[in-house]
Structures are given as structure tokens and as C-alpha cells.
Chains A and B, each alone.
Chain A
Amino acid sequence: MHIVVCMKQVPDSAQIRVHPVTNTIMRQGVPTIINPYDLFALEEAMRLRDQFGGEVTVLTMGPPMAEDSLRKALTFGADRAVLLTDRTFAGSDTLATSFALASALSKIGEVFGPPSLVFTGKQTIDGDTAQVGPGIAKRLALHQLTYVARIVALDPDAATITVERRAEGGIQVLSTRLPALITMLEGVNEIRRGTLESAYRAACAEIVIWNAAAAGIGDLGKCGLRGSPTIVKKVFAPSPRAEKVQQLPTADLPAEAVAESVIREIFKRQPAIEGDLVRFSAGQ
């Protein structure tokens, strides 16, 4: 069974800083990581491979330095890595991204065998859109299973899969046919530590690097900025609320006095809250 995991290399958002004066992003020195949500997808894919046999290919679209994330995935235990990189892809929105990745997935199918399952994380931590997975599924007519919490059953020979999906207000148990696309929920497994052997293999491995042409993309108008229906009109930092914060005095005051003044001010500004609280308290 062939499984492909789509990953993204993202800036470690915990370390992004905004310049206090110019309000621009200070990108220098921000380290990149594999999008943390994608690691749950990678681990789940490797577990299925270990159970049913086959191969896990990791695929990413990004600049040449995204090779670091692919090599990391090989260290964890992926079998093959494909990097889709081309200036043409710069500025892709989610529609253009799903086009490029779907094209590469088709090419992967031709070269390395068609995947039965495609995995992605539930979203990325930089874009947070959760749109690329469904976009790929639609373009390749893969059965779409988003927010999967657990794979209940998989039968590669019968080409069927049953999963638990996190829905509004509960868990949906869904069954469908392969090939399918799964976006994996976070926290459902823990990425394994790579073995010494996989680390060695990763260090020596040759990463498959494709540009648009190599991935079989003929229509460059569907890529990058040109292929993106959305445009970013402006990027900005929000301005402080017009009404300035009222700082309550705290210097040299005991915590009890501060607390009393906070409560007084809350009830003064929102008188209804006092009544609500008294009713709640009386009902206890």
C-alpha cells in the first residue's frame, strides 16, 4: 500500500516577532519546523504502513530549504521524499496550492505507484485555513475524511476504510472507499523517535526534487500568484482600542484592596453582572 503525506514547512510561529515601531514582521532568524499538525498525519501513515506493509512518501511544496523538513520526516521513518519547488509557485493561495500538490500527487502516482491514502494535518499553524486538504481531495476525486480522530478499520484489498471523525457536537463514524484523503486531528498519536538506521538512511537519501514541468504541470496560469483568486490587499497590525485602558492603582496596595477595587469597577461598568452573580450564588 502506498501512502502519501503532504507536509508544510512553516516558521515556528512562537518565535515570530513584530517590529514594535514599523509593525513589520521580523523574519530574520526565525527557525522553520514541520507544521506540527502534519506530524500526527505522518505518524498515522507510518503506523498503517507498519501494519499493512507498503511505503510512505512525504511531499512538500516550498522553497529549496524545505528539504530540511523532508529529511527530518525521513529520519522519523518515511520511505521517500518529494520536494515540489519552483518560482512559479510563489504567492500561491490555497486554490493554487491544492492545484500544484494535486498535480504532484498524480505524478507521484505515475512514478511510484498510485496512493491508496493521502494524509495531511488538519491545518497549518501559519495559514490556519484547513482548506488545502479538501482542495486536493476534490481535485483528485479522493473521498474526503477531515478531522479524523481514529482509523477504526482499513482493508487495502477490499479498498475500504472506516474512521471516527470529529464533527460538531459529536463523533461521526464514517466508512468510505479508497483512495481517500484524511486530515488528521491533533493529539491522536505521538510522532516516533527515529531509529539510528532511519537517521543514517535520511542523511544519505536522495530527495526527489521536481519543478513545475517535472511534476507534469503544463498550465502555469493555475500556479502561484496568477492562479490564486484571492489577493492580499493589505497587511496591518491592529490599532489599540480607541478607549484607553483604565489602569487601577496597585502600587503599595495589598492584594485584598486591589481585588476590592477591581470588583467595584466591574460592577460599576457592568451592573447586570452583579445581579447575575447573586442569582448564581443563591442557586448554589
Chain B
Amino acid sequence: MTEVPKQASGPAGGRASTKRELPEHFKAYRHVWVVVECEHGVVHPVSFELLGEGRKLADKREVELAGVVLGSDPAAIAAAATACFEYGADRVYTVTDPALAHYRNEAYTKAVTDLVNSYKPEILLLGATAFGRDLAGSVATTLLTGLTADCTALAIDDEGSLAATRPTFGGSLLCTILTLNYRPQMATVRPRVLAMPVRRPGRHGQIIEHPLNLAESEIVTKILQFIADRDSNKAQLAYADIVVAGGLGLRSVENFERVKELAAVLGAEYGGSRPLVQKGWIAADRQIGQTGKTIRPKLYIAAGISGAIQHRVGVEGADLIVAINTDPNAQIFDFAHLGIVADAVTVLPALTVAFRKHLSVNRLAS
């Protein structure tokens, strides 16, 4: 992934035009793969989101879609493979080995790079989670290929290449990145950026088993313990149906309480824009945007948030975006559905009261 696109002065720079032909040894690379994140017997939803998008890319390329499932428990792997087929995969590559019981960079990097070298996919997708980001960088460096992190859109361009779009310049612009002359073309996508595909029960495919060829004694890093997060401490922002968030337009940490009050009445999660984390008004796990959480709620209420691109890409998947901002020219009105040009500090408590009233009336009626 190109960090700061210094070379971005013109479309399709020198390399794009000079090295058009894919080197001969890469021409055998075909099919789209998703590395499935399966920890503690549970598949991370981002893997299904990637299979949904991977299906579209594979159809466009007229190739197959495959899932890669790694682990130690045959039953969990079989269940994950079934889920992969039902979410669109044609094949599933599995590696079953005690050394893969929990994620470790060495063992997982070996498993994935061996599979790639054996079966040669043209596109390799991973979730941009702690798992995927740790693994993708190692795999791409081992294979010496291109990797685009935290993509917000994937497409196949006119020449059949993976066109990966992501925010750049700290989220102030978007850029589209290609890996023209190397394979596989790798990309990571954050949870909730892509829509969850429809599951089709009974859909089947082919399972291909592959050995790890790495003994536990050869793996230096050991897992001593796993301390699971207590659910009560975790913000469930990414999968919330309703999210209320605040930005600097609230002016003070005291006023941020109005966001929490509205969220409480709606049974919603609350969050905020990046500057609020930097100011210490909210915890980092409540940050919404490119470098925080990506959300796809049914309803998103943004109070006093200007709507910079890095925020926009984190909320664009919401069904309904309601923006409250005093500035009628704020960028948030470029992508909100409903706009209220007013001071969020006054509108939020009025909304809280009105929702409460509305719901109590309805409750009596039902």
C-alpha cells in the first residue's frame, strides 16, 4: 500500500504504462480467495462480508471464489467451511493442525503463504482486524506482492485488475490503488464496510485439505494465556442498529452527555469523531470513522460532526443518516439524508424528550 501518494500527480503514472504485461510466471494465478478469521470456534462476520464482495469480484473475472479456513478443531473447521459455501464460496482450502489452535503470526503466515504458492490465487482478501492486519503484512512481504490496507471499495477495472479504493492523506481524500505486475493482489477491508451477503443454506462446494508442515517445536512464539474481554466493557458500535455520535460542535465534554442521554432512550450505542478521542472526551473504542469503527446502523444521528472524509467512509453504510450542524455548508450534509441546521446542544435534548414521549404513548397504546 502506498502511504502518501507522492506519485499521484497524474493518473496512471510511469509504471502503469510501461509494465502493462503481467510477467509470465504470474499468469497461472487465478481465482479470488478470502482468508477466513475463525477464532475460538467463531467466524468473524467480516469474513462473510468479504465472501459477499469476493463473489462479485469472482463473477466479474469469471473465476472461482474460495475461502481459506485454518484451525485445530476439525468440527469447527467443517462448520466454518459450510458457512463459507453458504455465503458464496465454491471451494474451501483448509489447514488443520494443533499449532493453528489460536492465531500466531508464524504458523498462520506459513499456512497462508504455502497455500498461495501451491494454488496461486489472483486476489487475496483479509479483514482489517488485529488478526488480518498482523497476518496480511507478513504474507505480502513473504510473497513480495502489493497490499492495500483498509479499503472502502473493491472493484475489477477494465483491464481485469483489482482496483482497491481507500482514504489517503489522513482521510481527506480517496485513492484507487492497483497491484499490476505482482500476484496475488492483496487487500484488507474493515468490518462493516461491506454489506453482509444473504446466506443460502444447502449451498455446497469442494473442500481441499492442505498440511501445515510445521512442528510446534519449530514455532518460537507461545501463547501463555487469552484474557477475553468482558462484554460489558465493550462498545458494540460496529453492529449496533442505532448509533448517536457527537463531534466538536458540541463544544464541551459536559454537552457530550446529551449524546449519551439520547442513545440511552433509543437503546443505541454512542460514539464520536476522532477529535473527541484526542481530547479525551470518549474512549478510543468509541471513535467512528476510518481509523475507528465503521458502522452500518439502520439509523445514525450525527450531532455537531463536520463530516470529513475519514468520518464519512466510516458511516456511509448507514440506512438513514441524520445530521445536526450549525454550519449549512458542513461536509456532513453532502452525504446525510436528513439535515438539521441548528445547534446540536439544543436539538439533542429536545429529541430525547420527544422520543421518550412518543415511545411512552406508543407503549400505552400497544
Q: Which residues of A contact B (CB under 8 A)?
A: 11, 13-14, 16-18, 23, 25, 90-95, 97-98, 124-135, 137-139, 143-147, 162, 164, 166-177, 186-187, 225-226, 228-238, 240-241, 243, 245-248, 250, 255-256, 258-260, 262-263, 265-266, 269-270, 272-274, 276-278, 280-282
Contact = CB atoms under 8 A, between A and B. Distances in A.
Interface size of B as a range: 35 or more
Q: Which of B14, B39, B170, B275 has the most CB of A within 10 A?
A: B170
Interface stretch (B78-86, B114-122, B337-345): B337-345
Contacts of B312: 238
B285 to A, nearest CB: 10
Nearest to A135: B141
A232 B226 contact: no
Nearest to A98: B141
B342 A16 contact: no
10 contacts: A13-B171, A13-B172, A14-B170, A127-B4, A129-B1, A131-B147, A173-B227, A229-B179, A246-B339, A248-B338
Contacts of B181: 229
B221 interface: yes
A90 B13 CA distance: 14
Contact of A273 (B129, B130, B144, B242): B242
Contacts of A139: 141
A212 to B, nearest CB: 17
A278 B342 contact: no
B40 interface: yes
A225 B137 contact: no
Given A16-B172, A134-B137, 7 more contacts: A95-B140, A128-B150, A128-B171, A259-B354, A262-B340, A269-B337, A281-B362
Interface string B325-365: 00010000111111111100011011101110011101100
B353 to A, nearest CB: 7
- The DSSP consensus for interface residues of chain B is mixed
A162 B267 contact: no
Nearest to B267: A280
Contacts of A162: 224
A19 to B, nearest CB: 11
Nearest to B149: A129
B75 interface: no
Contact of B177 (A98, A126, A144, A233): A233
B197 to A, nearest CB: 20
Given A138-B141, A277-B266, A277-B267, A173 B224 contact: yes
B236 interface: no
B1 A131 contact: yes
| Shortest Cβ-Cβ A-B pairs, 3 listed | A13-B170, A127-B3, A134-B137
Nearest to A248: B340
A164 to B, nearest CB: 8
A270 B298 contact: yes
Contact of B169 (A25, A186, A255, A263): A25
Interface string B1-25: 1111111100111111000000000
Contacts of A94: 1-3, 137, 140, 147, 149
B11 A233 contact: yes
Given A169-B228, A270-B319, A245 B150 contact: no
A263 B357 CA distance: 11
Contacts of A247: 328, 333, 339-341
B210 interface: no
Nearest to B14: A225
Nearest to B309: A238
B13 A231 contact: yes
Given A187-B284, A231-B15, A175 B298 contact: no
